[in-house]
Chains A and B, each alone.
Chain A
Amino acid sequence: MGRRACCAKEGVKRGAWTSKEDDALAAYVKAHGEGKWREVPQKAGLRRCGKSCRLRWLNYLRPNIRRGNISYDEEDLIIRLHRLLGNRWSLIAGRLPGRTDNEIKNYWNSTLGRRAGAGAGAGGSWVVVAPDTGSHATPAATSGACETGQNSAAHRADPDSAGTTTTSAAAVWAPKAVRCTGGLFFFHRDTTPAHAGETATPMAGGGGGGGGEAGSSDDCSSAASVSLRVGSHDEPCFSGDGDGDWMDDVRALASFLESDEDWLRCQTAGQLA
């Protein structure tokens, strides 16, 4: 009988969202968090499909979303990343802070694709040619847990395009950049583990500073961007003694934001040294 409809057809509103609906949805997600989208319309008092609520939130209402006014630098980056990654919009959007994959896709299809094609193709028409080999064998590049949701959305949006334009070489990785400042780690270094646990939560929840952090979603960049100038900058974050330890420090820095326990373990090891 085919796929089950996401919601009943009767009584569901379609078309443009009103500001009242936007406010109701934003207030609900702010109070209850994302997820369980099927239940959101009923609980938020919206006559909308849960799927529509999710898409409205992700592409329009989420904090730090920027729509429109794509700058020249952003255009240039989109063109270069599209040449590199093809139609994997979630990966491209991941490199542009505040942009969604949906907006990048629409912008490319309505504006950039035609412009870029005019320069590239013979006779001014732009033709997408699939690579001869390797497109099916190549695994999709992953760009970190924070972009998994966007990845799924992108693949659902363009399953055919995503398959035909993957790179024929090895998969392309997009490492998430983790900004490390001495002060941040000095701060943790000077406090007890319990105190560090208490202060970590408001920092993560406070957000801020996400604009400068590329390659991260908003959920992760808020933590990564926290910068505290506490303690002396002359002291290294970790003990530098012993050969071969220095690279462990760098790996520990990179993984710190994923797990506080790694940090505490390194701190203990540093104290023992």
Chain B
Amino acid sequence: MDPPKPPSSVASSSGPETPNPHAFTCELPHSIYALAFSPVAPVLASGSFLEDLHNRVSLLSFDPVRPSAASFRALPALSFDHPYPPTKLQFNPRAAAPSLLASSADTLRIWHTPLDDLSDTAPAPELRSVLDNRKASSEFCAPLTSFDWNEVEPRRIGTASIDTTCTVWDIDRGVVETQLIAHDKAVHDIAWGEAGVFASVSADGSVRVFDLRDKEHSTIVYESPRPDTPLLRLAWNRSDLRYMAALLMDSSAVVVLDIRAPGVPVAELHRHRACANAVAWAPQATRHLCSAGDDGQALIWELPETAAAVPAEGIDPVLVYDAGAEINQLQWAAAHPDWMAIAFENKVQLLRV
């Protein structure tokens, strides 16, 4: 992958008369949190963040070849109502399969969202299945904080819940394959590494790795330095499975872990000036990642070849983008590695890297 092209220097000062040629904005009528790129179509799913039962998932189309402000727009026919704000959205990673979109909230839902027809007369997405693991006698549910769709074994989705469990679903049969009490407190994020291996982060401050072939054990690969500091987000580098990145609550640092050297981070990236909210690895490069936070900045980092090459004064980002408001979400498109999306306020922004 070529080094990312720098955004225009007018990015932070551009007005409506001088639009940034590498950034495209779509405004929606509500706050936005969850984002997901489709692996097959130039479509981006966004979930609203309203503290209400009635929320909405909007599908946005963009042109990755000849982008323009007009081509980045919402598709009203393909948007649908969603109960509660979705905590995560993700499309089926297998391109050949029917286009399914999964969402997590009070429970896990699978939506059939055909993306062959993006016109105004397209058929509406329909709810295909609700995966609910409540006991029959209970009227409570344990909300899901996140989930991850296994790319190697796409019938598996792992969900993270505030009831301290991670649940592995077989979505073809609609049943629980495995449920693990993963942590001592709420589980905030989950990420697959291999077909049967996933990692999770928790309010108990630990990153743990689980192997479905050995359900009796899990491995703690990191614990936050201050006791009881929750970990919020986890990203597993799919191009180099030795590396993970994690975010701590109320911290501006991005912690990069090497699972071969557990306990001590390879690097801590300290250039955000406010809390870091989102982190993502580059889809086709092994040592690039992007983080975004409350300082309104999206930073792209390049890690050194070895941990020994980390300078004492810390790593500087190779690219900086200033959105002008707190960035809540960040996604780096696997199908179009030149593009990433950020969400702030009621805007979704498409950035060319």
In the bound complex, residues from chain A placing their C-beta under 8 Å from that of B175 are 169-170
Is B135 in contact with chain A by the CB < 8 A criterion? yes
Of residues 116 through 169 on chain B, the ones whose CB sits less than 8 Å from some CB of chain A are 133, 135-140, 142, 163-165
Residues of B165-222 whose CB lies within 8 A of A: 165, 175-182, 184-185, 193-194, 197, 204, 206, 208-211, 214-221
Interface flags for B245-258 (1: CB within 8 Å of A; 0: not) read 00000000000001
**Given A81-B164, A83-B138, A247-B194: A173 in contact with B260 (beta carbons within 8 A):** no
| A236 in contact with B176 (CB, 8 Å) | no
- Give 16 A-B pairs besides A167-B135, A172-B165 with Cβ atoms closer than 8 angstroms: A77-B184, A80-B164, A120-B140, A129-B136, A131-B136, A173-B216, A175-B210, A175-B218, A180-B263, A215-B184, A234-B307, A238-B260, A240-B260, A246-B259, A247-B197, A247-B211
Interface pair B177/A179, CB less than 8 Å apart: no
B262 at the A interface (CB under 8 A): yes
How many chain-A residues does the 8 Å CB contact rule pick out?
A: 50
Bound Cα distance A175, B163 (Å): 15
A-B contact pairs, 26 of them (CB 8 A): A81-B164, A84-B142, A95-B181, A144-B216, A167-B135, A169-B133, A173-B178, A175-B180, A175-B210, A175-B214, A177-B217, A177-B219, A178-B217, A178-B220, A181-B264, A182-B264, A183-B263, A214-B204, A233-B261, A234-B261, A246-B259, A249-B259, A250-B209, A250-B221, A250-B259, A253-B262
Give min CB distance, B282 to chain A, whole Å: 19
Q: Does A198 contact B (CB under 8 A)?
A: no
Interfacial chain B residues near A251, Cβ < 8 Å:
211, 214
**6 pairs of A and B residues whose beta carbons are closest in the complex:** A236-B260, A129-B137, A181-B263, A175-B218, A180-B262, A174-B181
Residues of chain B within 8 A of A246, CB atoms compared:
241-242, 259-260
Instruction: Flag whether A255 is at the interface (Cβ < 8 A).
Output: yes
Tier of interface size on chain B:
35 or more
Which one of A130, A169, A235, A236 lies within 8 Å of B179 (CB-CB)? A169
Q: Which residues of A lie under 8 Å from residue B184 when comparing CB positions?
A: 77, 95, 214-215
Chain B minimum-CB-distance residue to A183: B263
The one of B177, B185, B218 in contact with A170, judged by C-beta atoms closer than 8 angstroms, is B177
Distance in Å: Cβ of A160 to nearest Cβ of chain B: 16
Q: Which residues of B contact A214 (CB under 8 A)?
A: 184, 204
Q: Is the CB of A130 within 8 A of B260?
A: no
Q: Is A237 an interface residue (CB 8 A)?
A: yes
Proximity string of chain A (212-239) to chain B, C-beta cutoff 8 Å, 1 when within and 0 when not = 0011000000000000000001111110
Give Cα A176 to B260, complex, Å: 20
* Residue contact B181 to A173, C-beta cutoff 8 Å: yes
Binding site for A on B (CB under 8 A): 133, 135-140, 142, 163-165, 175-182, 184-185, 193-194, 197, 204, 206, 208-211, 214-221, 223, 241-242, 258-264, 306-308
Which A residues lie within 8 Å of B220 (CB)? 177-180
A contact residues vs B (CB 8 Å cutoff): 77, 80-81, 83-84, 91, 95, 120, 128-132, 142-144, 167-183, 214-215, 233-238, 240, 246-247, 249-251, 253-255
Is the Cβ of A172 less than 8 Å from the Cβ of B181? yes
Q: Contact at B241–A179, with CB atoms within 8 Å? A: no
Task: Identify the interface centre among A171, A179, A215: most chain B CB within 10 Å of its CB.
Answer: A179
Contact A181 B262 (CB under 8 A): yes
Query: Could you tell me if A172 and B180 are in contact, using CB atoms closer than 8 angstroms?
Result: yes
Separation of A258 and B259 alpha carbons in the complex (Å): 20
When distances are taken between beta carbons in the complex, the residues of chain A under 8 Å from B179 are: 167, 169-173
Task: Please give me the residue from chain B that is nearest to A186 by CB atom.
Answer: B261
Contact B135 A180 (CB under 8 A): no
Q: How far is the CB of A59 from chain B (nearest CB, A)?
A: 22
Q: Determine the chain B residues whose CB is within 8 A of the CB of A253 once the complex forms.
A: 219, 262
Question: Which residues of A have CB within 8 Å of B262?
Answer: 180-182, 237, 253
